[in-house]
Amino acid sequence: MIRTDARELGWGRFIWQFLTVLLVYFIAQLPAAFIWGFQTDDGQFSISSTGAAVSTAGGMAGALLMAWYWLRRDGVLADAWNLRAPSNWLWTLGWAAAATAAIIGWFTLGAMLVEAIGLTTPDVDQVLGWVTESPFHFALWIALVAFFSAGFGEELLWRGYLMDRLSRLGGLRGKMWPIILIQAALFGLPHAYQGLGGVIITGVVGIGLGWLRFHNKGNLWACIIAHVAVDTIMMSLSYATKLGIMPAT
């Protein structure tokens, strides 16, 4: 939904709000890193699977709390975090299923394309190693990361908070595609640990989810369900491969 009547937000206030959300996100990750972090034999800092999952969830919880504060203070919480029941749940679930299939398909196609242009494909081996460490860790990552941090958290933060903020900026109000592309670029950058290929692939996913939010008139449920489904499926396939249920690719 393009809010041409949205309450305007100045660029300076937008930048300040966005930076505080990012700052709280990083600070809120530290307690878990200190608790579950350790020094390897070669003197490098590392973190356990439990620590990585809790740290990710803690950072997202902090970021959402900061975003909630700004949205509530500006009186736009219900618009930005539109979690009202959709007018048609069947259509919403249908769009979520289509988005899930498209994203999983894009992961394969995107990896082929970035490799074809000479970029490295996303490296997620360490993350999947944490996920598949044990049945307990698999359940922990599904709950804290697939459902909370990625599914709910990233959609509330990027498609909810950020797209609302962008839609209220002078020069962007009422302009769907610039808003979608900017949030997608900012969504892709935190995935730099996967390499440039990961940034590009994730950025394209952000474009699709951003469009889906507009298509659903600002309602976030289709985006949330699709994001939860994608992460849950990918983690489950990885764990099934480790258990020998699925053949290794």
Query: How crowded is the C-beta side of 5, counted as CA atoms within 13 Å?
Result: 1
DSSP 176-189: HHHHHHHHHHHHHG
* Residue 119 confidence class, pLDDT cut points 50, 70, 90: confident
- pLDDT tens per residue, range 181-227: 999 999 999 888 788 888 999 999 999 999 999 999 999 999 999 99
Mean pLDDT of 221-238: 97
- Nearest-angstrom CA–CA distance, 219 and 122: 30
- Nearest-angstrom CA–CA distance, 128 and 141: 10
- pLDDT tens per residue, range 27-60: 999 999 999 999 888 888 999 999 999 999 999 9
Three-class SS of residue 214? Answer: helix
* Residue 122 confidence class, pLDDT cut points 50, 70, 90: confident
Q: Give residues with Cβ within 8 angstroms of 215, minimum separation 6.
A: 95
Of residues 214 and 120, more confidently modeled: 214
- Residue 38 phi/psi, 5-degree rounding, is -155, 165
- pLDDT tens per residue, range 64-77: 999 999 999 999 99
Whether 80 contacts 164, CB under 8 Å: yes
Q: Is the pTM of this model over 0.75?
A: yes
One-letter amino acid at 64 equals L
Whether 150 contacts 227, CB under 8 Å: yes
Percent of the chain with pLDDT over 90: 82
Whether 63 contacts 157, CB under 8 Å: yes
Structure token digits, residue 26 = 């990083």
- pLDDT tens per residue, range 132-143: 999 999 999 999
